Every structure is written in structure tokens, then in C-alpha cells.
């Protein structure tokens, strides 16, 4: 999930002037944040990585209100890929949506690996 989101996010940079690319990139950022949290806390279910990843991504967006990310990006332009440059309230909603999608994906992946789950599981009815 993390690698896929990073690849998508970087690919979007090639077409960032197209309509919708900002939303797609922000969704990928939210997914990547949850994916990274999932890597850092494996076997902790989906909720912890979902909350931590989405919270961290949202905190980065809110930090843009301070101007610090823009100042850092002025010195090192690549920093803007990670920290952004300017606050957009729509990005907060989009990050939460991306984080929610990633959390559901983690939950379904975790559930698929539980003993007695999956397509060959037998019902005890």
C-alpha cells in the first residue's frame, strides 16, 4: 500500500497541472501516511495506523498555516512534496478520505489473514 501510494503520488507530479491532480495527490498522501504507520506498527490492526497516519498527514497540512513548510521549501524545493507549501481546507477533508480508504484496506487485509477467514472458511452454522 505504501509503495503504491508513493508511486501514484510521484506519477501525479508529472501531470500536476491537470484538473483533479491536486485531489488525487492529496488522496495518495493520505493513503501513504496510513501505509507508513502500518509498516511502523505491523500486527496492530488497522485502527492504530489509520488514526496515527491520518493524524500525522492532517498535522502536516495544518502546519502549513505557520508558513514554516513554505519557508523550508523555498530553500529545498523537494521538501514541498512532503510538507506542502500552503494550507487548503479541502486538503484536510481529502486527507481524511484517503486515510479512511487506507484504514479500510488495512482492516480487510488484516481480516483476510485471520485463521478461519477468507474464501475457504467454513461456516459453523
Whose cell is 505491523? That residue is 42
Which among 2, 105, 95 is positioned nearest to 46, based on CA atoms? Answer: 105
Whole-prediction pTM: 0.84
pLDDT one-digit tens code per residue, 9-67: 999 999 999 999 999 999 999 999 999 999 999 999 999 999 999 999 999 999 999 99
30: helix, strand or coil: helix
pLDDT one-digit tens code per residue, 66-83: 999 999 999 999 999 999
Q: Is the dihedral of CA 53, 54, 58, 59 positive or negative?
A: negative
pLDDT one-digit tens code per residue, 95-121: 999 999 999 999 998 766 555 555 555
In degrees, to the nearest 5, what angle opens at C-alpha 36 toward C-alphas 30 and 41? 125
Amino acid at each position: 500500500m505504501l509503495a503504491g501510494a508513493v508511486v501514484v503520488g510521484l506519477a501525479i507530479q508529472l501531470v500536476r497541472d491537470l484538473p483533479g491532480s491536486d485531489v488525487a495527490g492529496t488522496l495518495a498522501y493520505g493513503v501513504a501516511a496510513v501505509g507508513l504507520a502500518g509498516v511502523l506498527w505491523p500486527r496492530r490492526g488497522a485502527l492504530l495506523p489509520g488514526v496515527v497516519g491520518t493524524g500525522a498527514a492532517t498535522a502536516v497540512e495544518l502546519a502549513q498555516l505557520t508558513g514554516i513548510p513554505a519557508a523550508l521549501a523555498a530553500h529545498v524545493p523537494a521538501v514541498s512534496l512532503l510538507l506542502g507549501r500552503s494550507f487548503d481546507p479541502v486538503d484536510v477533508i481529502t486527507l481524511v478520505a484517503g486515510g479512511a480508504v487506507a484504514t479500510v484496506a488495512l482492516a480487510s487485509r488484516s481480516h483476510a489473514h485471520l485463521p478461519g477467514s477468507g474464501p475457504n472458511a467454513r461456516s459453523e452454522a
